[in-house]
A and B are shown apart, each in its own frame.
Chain A
Amino acid sequence: MSTQNGHIDAAGKKMGMWFFLFTEILFFGGMFLLYSIYRYKYAQDFHNAAAEENIVLGTVNTAILLTSSLCIALSISAIRRGERYFSSWLQLVTIVMGVAFLVIKYFEWMAKIDIGIYPDSPVLLKMAAGEIIFFGLYYVMTGLHGLHVLVGCVVIAFMMRFTMRQTIHRGNVARLENTGLYWHFVDIVWIYLYPLFYLIT
Chain B
Amino acid sequence: MKDPSAETHIVATRTYAVVWLALLALLAATLAVARLQLMARYSVLGSLLIATAKAGLVLAFFMHLKYEGRFLKGLLLLTLCALTLFIGLTFVDVWYR
A contact residues vs B (CB 8 Å cutoff): 10-11, 15, 18-19, 22, 25-26, 29, 32-33, 36-37, 40-41, 55, 59, 62-63, 66-67, 69-70, 73-74, 77, 80-81, 180-181, 184-185, 187-188, 191-192, 194-195, 199-201
Distance between A199 CB and nearest chain B CB, rounded to angstroms: 4
Contact A40 B20 (CB under 8 A): no
One digit per residue, 1 when the CB lies within 8 angstroms of any chain A CB and 0 when it does not, for chain B 1-41 equals: 11000011011010011011001100100110111000000
A74 contacts across to B, CB distance below 8 A: 13, 16
Contact B62 A11 (CB under 8 A): no
Contact B34 A200 (CB under 8 A): yes
A11 to B80, CA, bound (A): 22
Total number of residue pairs linking A and B with CB closer than 8 Å: 110
Which residue of B24, B31, B59, B76 contacts A66 across the interface (Cβ within 8 Å)?
B24
Contact B83 A69 (CB under 8 A): no
Contact B58 A25 (CB under 8 A): no
Please judge, given known A-B contacts A26-B79, A29-B86, whether A199 and B47 are in contact too, CB under 8 Å: yes
A86 to B47, CA, bound (A): 36
A69 to B62, CA, bound (A): 7
Distance between B10 CB and nearest chain A CB, rounded to angstroms: 5
